[in-house]
Chain A
Amino acid sequence: MARMKFLCDAERCIECNGCVTACKNEHEVPWGVNRRRVVTLNDGLPGEKSISVACMHCSDAPCMAVCPVDCFYKTSEGVVLHDKDLCIGCGYCFYACPFGAPQFPQDGAFGMRGKMDKCTFCAGGPEEDQSAAEFKKYGRNRLSEGKLPACAEMCSTKALLGGDADVIADIYRTRVLKRGKGAEVWGWGTAYGKPEKGATPPAGAKS
């Protein structure tokens, strides 16, 4: 099993916010906390593009590097998780994260920051799998049920893919080659060219 990753296809995302709703519903995320959100560029203009953004479970996660209490850990599947019992809600991870993934509930006493909350790739946290304590702190642990994140599985247009990085990269590669556009972007050859398996990049592909 390779690393678990998300991939959002901007050509397919229709800004329905189904992923956001699925996430909210699955984990009973409190009001004001958005583990996932849809970002639209050039909203309302012809050719607008939307992508669904959450924690990208970075291979070299900056949140892990800056955390003063070292409450982050990475699972063997490459999912970045944290221990809420240890988190002090300082917000350093929020400053470090390039995706704005860490969220802080504001409904605590005196409006202070609560414990950080973020996308868990539906993998729960360091509590007993599928226990009430795990659900309360981290949400549902779908990965331990053999399922993938609810946001990706609920996506109606399959713009948002989630799972084994090799598999979803293959799905995306096939899709772009079939639709005949998208391979001209910079970095395509490096990321998806995969010449060793005979899938030669189409004409115009740049590495």
Chain B
Amino acid sequence: MKKLMLAASVAALALVTAGCGEKQGATVYKQGQYQGKPDTRPWESAQFKGDKTAWEKAVKARNNGQNEYTRATD
């Protein structure tokens, strides 16, 4: 009788606390990581040979070349 009571109480406890162990249903999305080949930086090309300053200077000149207001006063 004692064993039956014990078994019944264990079963009841398991039934009552069954919901407590439920895992979260919503999936947490994690941003994937790039899986392809690594790329080089633009200033690492044969033309600039890693000289970032020279590359930035060249791009800046091209950037500012799009502004006619400054080009007109040059």
Which residues of A are at the interface with B, using a C-beta cutoff of 8 A? 1, 65, 67, 69-73, 75-77, 81-83, 85-86, 123, 125-130, 141, 143-148, 152-153, 158, 161-164, 167-168, 170-171, 174-175, 178
Contact = CB atoms under 8 A, between A and B. Distances in A.
A6 to B, nearest CB: 11
Kindly state the interface size class of chain B when it binds its partner.
Answer: 20 to 34
B36 A148 contact: no
B20 to A, nearest CB: 34
Identify the 5 closest CB pairs spanning chains A and B, nearest first.
A83-B36, A146-B58, A144-B45, A70-B32, A129-B45
B66 A152 contact: yes
B32 A67 contact: yes
Interface in B23-74: 31-48, 54-56, 58-60, 62-69
B55 to A, nearest CB: 6
Interface of B: 31-48, 54-56, 58-60, 62-69
A67 B56 CA distance: 32
Contact of B36 (A86, A153, A162): A86
Contacts of A1: 56, 59
A158 B35 contact: no
30 contacts: A1-B56, A69-B35, A70-B34, A70-B35, A71-B34, A73-B39, A77-B42, A82-B36, A83-B35, A83-B37, A85-B36, A85-B37, A86-B35, A125-B39, A129-B45, A130-B47, A141-B42, A143-B42, A144-B42, A146-B58, A146-B59, A153-B66, A161-B66, A163-B62, A163-B66, A164-B59, A164-B63, A167-B64, A168-B66, A178-B69
Contacts of A81: 39
B62 to A, nearest CB: 5
